[in-house]
Amino acid sequence: MTSRLDEPELRRRTQELLAAHPPATTDRLTFLEARFDAGLAWVHYPEGLGGLGAPRALQAVVDAELEAAGAPDNDPRRIGIGLGMAAPTILRYGAEEQRRRFLRPLWTGQEVWCQLFSEPGAGSDLAALGTRAVRDGEDWVVDGQKVWTSSAHVARWAILIARTDPALPKHQGITYFLCDMTDPGVEVRPLRQITGEAEFNEVFLTGVRIPDAHRLGGVGEGWKVAQTTLMNERVSIGGMRLPREGGMIGPLAKTWRERPELRTHDLHQRLLKLWVEAEVSRLTAERLRQRLAAGQPGYEGSGMKLAFARLNQEISGLEVELRGEEGLLYDDWTLRRPELVDFTGRDAGYRYLRAKGNSIEGGTSEILLNIVAERVLGLPAEPRTDKDVAWKDLAR
C-alpha cells in the first residue's frame, strides 16, 4: 500500500535518501542520480521520471531537508534552459522512451540544453522562421541558422523548431525536434555582447540529420509544442523565487544604506518607488508559482517577464546614477565565454549593460505586450495580413 504523499512522508523519504547516500561521503553525481531515482528531484513529476506525483508545493520541503544536510544541488542556474524549458515540454509531449532517455541526465546536469528558436529573420516574429527540415527515410535533414542561443557552446542537446511544410501558413508547417549538438553539421559561433562577454551564440545547421524518433509532438504541430516551451521560459525568467531584496534591488538598497554621501531627496523617492515595485513583483511571482501547482503556466508569465525586464533596467540605471562616475566603472571587462548569466558580485556597470538584454531575451517586451493585451485583457488583435498566406509566398 502506497504511503500518503504528505509533508511528513516526504521528509521520511528524504531522510532515507540521506541515510543511504550520505552527502559527505557520496560522489556528487551519484547522489543526484539517487535523488532522481527516489522521486525527489521534482516531486510533482510522475513516478519513474524524478517525481512522485505529489503536489508541486511540497518540493520546498525536500529542498529544505537536503540543504540542511549539506547535500549537493544540481546547479540549477547552469542548466536553467533544460530545467525550465526543455523538461516541461518533453514531459508534456514526449513519448515515454524520450522522457526516460532525456529527463534524468537533464536534471542531474550531465547534459546541458540550449534553445534553437530565434533566427536572423525571425526573432520577434518567431513563426516566420526559415530553417528547413526535410524528411529522408527515418531521418530529417535540417539546414538553417539560429541566433541568440544561450549556452550553445556548452550544450549537448537543443530544442529546435524547423519548417517542414513551406506551403502552409507560417504558424503551421513547423515541427519540433530534439537536436544533437555534437552532430558534425552543427557549427557554433560566439556573439560578442555590449558587456564584452559572449554568452550568446549563432548556430549554423548544415545537413544535420535528426532521427524521427527525436521529433517531439506531431509533424506540423511544432508551434503548439513551442508554446509550452515559451510559456515556461517566461515563467522561469520572470517568476523565479527570490527573498526580499533579492535580485537587482538588493545591491542598490545596500549601496544606499552604506553610502549616505550619495543620497539625494530625488533619488530617495525613486528608490522607494522601485523598492515597492520590486516587492510587488516578487510577491506576484510567488502567487504565480502557487497557481502553477494546479497545472501548466498560462499567459500570466508574459506579464511577469515584462515587469522583470522593466524593473531590472530601471533599477540598474538608478544604481549607476546614484554612484555617479563610479557607476561607470566596470573592472572585470573580459572577453569571456560564460556558461550562464551571472549578476552576482558584478559591478553596477555590468548590471546596467546586461539588463538591456532582458527586454529582448525570452520574448521581446513589444511582443509580450501584445500577448497580454490580446490573451489576458481580451483586446482586439492587431490586423495581420499574413495569417492565412503560405509561408513560401510571404515577402522576405
CA distance 116 to 79: 15
For position 194, which CATH number holds? 2.40.110.10
| pLDDT tens, position by position, 70-125 | 999 999 989 999 999 999 999 999 999 999 999 999 999 999 999 999 999 887 78
Do 130 and 38 sit in the same domain of this protein? no
pLDDT tens digit string along 146-164? 999 989 999 999 999 999 9
In a domain, 20, yes or no: yes
**Predicted model pTM:** 0.86
Q: What is the pLDDT of residue 1?
A: 34
Structure-block grid coordinates of residue 151: 549556452
State how far the Cα of 291 lies from the Cα of 41, in Å rounded to an integer.
20
Per-residue pLDDT at 236 exceeds 70: no
Do residue 12 and residue 108 come from a single domain?
Answer: no
Catalytic residue chosen out of the listed positions 65, 119, 199, 233: 233
Q: Is residue 391 part of a domain?
A: no
Residues 299 and 371 sit within 8 Å (Cβ to Cβ): yes
Q: 216 and 236 share a domain? A: no
Q: Do 21 and 87 fall within a single domain?
A: no
Domain match, 262 and 214 both: no
Q: Which domain holds residue 232?
A: 226-376
Distance, CA of 82 to CA of 176 (rounded, Å)? 15
Spatial separation of the C-alpha atoms in residues 262 and 264, rounded to whole Å: 7
239 shares its domain with 296: yes
Cα-Cα end-to-end distance for the chain: 62
CATH number at residue 286: 1.20.140.10
> Known catalytic residue: 233?
yes
What does the pLDDT look like over 36-55, one tens digit per residue? Answer: 999 999 999 999 999 999 98
How many domains would you assign to the chain?
3
Q: Which phi and psi (to 5°) does residue 132 adopt?
A: -105, 140
- What is the SS3 string spanning 1-25? CCCCCCHHHHHHHHHHHHHHCCCCC
Q: Residue 43 in contact with residue 58, Cβ under 8 Å?
A: yes
Residue 45 lies in a domain: yes
Phi, psi of 274 (to 5 degrees): -70, -35
To 5 degrees, how large is the angle CA 57–CA 62–CA 64?
100
